[in-house]
A and B are shown apart, each in its own frame.
Chain A
Amino acid sequence: MSGYLQYLRYGYQTLLSESLSHVLIVVAAMLVSFVVAAMLGLLAYRRAWLAEPLLSITSTALTLPSLALFGLMIPIFGLGFVPTLIVLVIYAVMPILRNLITGLNSISPAILEAATGIGMTRTRRLFVVEVPLAWPIIVTGLRFSSMMVVGVAAVGAYVGGPGLGATLFNGLAEVGSRSAVPEVLSATIMILLIAIALDGIFWLISRITVSPGIR
Chain B
Amino acid sequence: MALDLSPQEASNMGTELQRRRSVIELRDVSKHYKDAGAPIVDRLTLSISEGEFVALTGPSGCGKTTTLKMINRLIEPSSGQILINGQDVGDLPSHRLRQGIGYVIQNVGLFPHMTIADNVAAVPRLLGWKKDRTTARIDELLSMVGLEPSKYRDRFPRELSGGQAQRVGVARALAADPPILLMDEPFAAVDPITRTSLQDEFLRLQQSIRKTIVFVTHDMAEAMRLADRVVIFGPQSKIAQVGAPTEVLSAPADAFVASMLGSGRLVQLLSCVRLRDVSLDMWPTIAEGLGRDERLAALSSAQRQGKDRVLVLDDAKRPLYWIHSDTTGDSSKFEVDCKLELEATSLRDAITQIVYCPHDCAVVVDGNEAFQGIINLKGIRRSLIPLAGAGTTAATIGVEK
Contact = CB atoms under 8 A, between A and B. Distances in A.
B98 A214 contact: no
B123 interface: yes
A65 interface: no
Contacts of B157: 213
A108 B115 CA distance: 18
A51 to B, nearest CB: 23
Contacts of B72: 117
A107 to B, nearest CB: 10
B112 A120 contact: no
B107 interface: yes
A116 B72 CA distance: 10
Contacts of B158: 213-214
Interface in B283-316: none
30 contacts: A110-B108, A111-B110, A111-B112, A113-B105, A113-B109, A114-B110, A115-B109, A116-B95, A117-B72, A117-B98, A117-B182, A118-B98, A118-B99, A118-B103, A118-B123, A118-B126, A119-B100, A119-B123, A121-B95, A129-B113, A133-B112, A133-B113, A211-B114, A213-B114, A213-B115, A213-B156, A213-B158, A214-B112, A214-B113, A214-B158
A108 B122 CA distance: 18
Interface of A: 108, 110-111, 113-121, 124, 129, 132-133, 211-214
Contacts of A124: 126
Contacts of B112: 111, 133, 211, 213-214
Nearest to A213: B156
Contacts of B96: 119
A120 B110 CA distance: 14
Contacts of B115: 213
Interface of B: 72, 74, 95-100, 103, 105-115, 122-123, 126, 156-158, 172-173, 182
Given A118-B123, A119-B126, A132 B113 contact: yes
A114 B113 contact: no
A114 B95 contact: no
A209 to B, nearest CB: 11
Q: Which 9 A-B pairs have the closest CB atoms?
A: A114-B109, A213-B156, A119-B99, A110-B107, A211-B113, A119-B98, A117-B103, A110-B109, A119-B95
B225 to A, nearest CB: 25
A114 B120 CA distance: 12
A93 B293 CA distance: 101
Contacts of B122: 118, 120
A118 B72 CA distance: 9
A68 to B, nearest CB: 42
Which residue among A115, A116, A118, A214 has the maximum number of chain B CB atoms within 10 Å of its CB? A118
Contacts of A211: 112-114, 156
A114 B126 contact: no
A212 B126 contact: no
Contacts of B114: 211, 213
A124 B106 CA distance: 23
- The A contact surface, by secondary structure, is helix
Contacts of A129: 111, 113
Given A119-B126, A121-B95, A212 B156 contact: yes
A111 B109 CA distance: 4
A111 B157 CA distance: 12
B192 to A, nearest CB: 21
A176 B108 CA distance: 69
Contacts of A212: 156
B121 to A, nearest CB: 11
Contacts of B156: 211-214
Given A119-B95, A129-B113, A213-B112, 16 more contacts: A111-B109, A113-B105, A114-B111, A116-B98, A117-B109, A117-B182, A118-B123, A120-B95, A120-B122, A120-B126, A129-B111, A132-B113, A211-B112, A211-B113, A214-B113, A214-B156
Contact of A118 (B107, B108, B172): B172
A114 B112 CA distance: 12
Contact of A117 (B100, B105, B110, B111): B105
A114 B103 contact: yes
Nearest to B100: A119
A118 B99 CA distance: 6
Nearest to B123: A118
Q: Which among A108, A114, A129 has the greatest number of chain B C-beta atoms within 10 A?
A: A114
Contacts of B107: 108, 110
Contacts of B172: 118
A133 B109 CA distance: 13
A38 B74 CA distance: 28
Q: Which of B74, B110, B113 has the most CB of A within 10 A?
A: B113
A114 B157 CA distance: 14
Of A116, A119, A121, A213, most B-chain CB atoms within 10 Å: A119
Contacts of B123: 118-119
A118 B98 CA distance: 6
A210 to B, nearest CB: 8
Nearest to A212: B156
Given A213-B156, A213-B157, A114 B98 contact: no
Nearest to B103: A117
A212 B122 CA distance: 18
A20 B111 CA distance: 42
Contact of B111 (A115, A116, A121): A115
Contacts of B103: 114, 117-118
B280 to A, nearest CB: 46
A132 B156 CA distance: 14
A132 B172 CA distance: 19
